[in-house]
Structure 1
Amino acid sequence: MLFPIQNTLTRDIQDAASKQNNPQYLSLWAGQGVGSLDEDQSASDIMKEIINDIQQDFLQ
């Protein structure tokens, strides 16, 4: 599990990036499901799919 080590070692970089409002050097974690994403999916496509799934769950 690299997260705790990586996070500790890059803390100074992340703090500086945060102060500069520069997300390029921040740790922006994607989660466990990132491997199941299709390369051609936009963020908008993913959100539409999530909303559609939620709406279908409520209708059933």
Structure 2
Amino acid sequence: MPCRHGEPRPGAVTVPLERDGMTIVFREVPALVCENCGEAFHDEAVTAALLKQAEQAAVAA
């Protein structure tokens, strides 16, 4: 949940994911971003797509 002091607004964020000592960075990921604290929230479809892409990258590395 947002910090309760700001409204989440549509935006894009950078998301780093780490796995087995490897870091994968996704840029311009759609998210709702709290205007007060900057915390980002992703819907289920975005999260699933990020995890799938990270898994594919880990296998290819």
Tell me which interval the TM-score lies in, with the shorter structure as reference length.
0.3 to 0.5
Higher strand share: 2
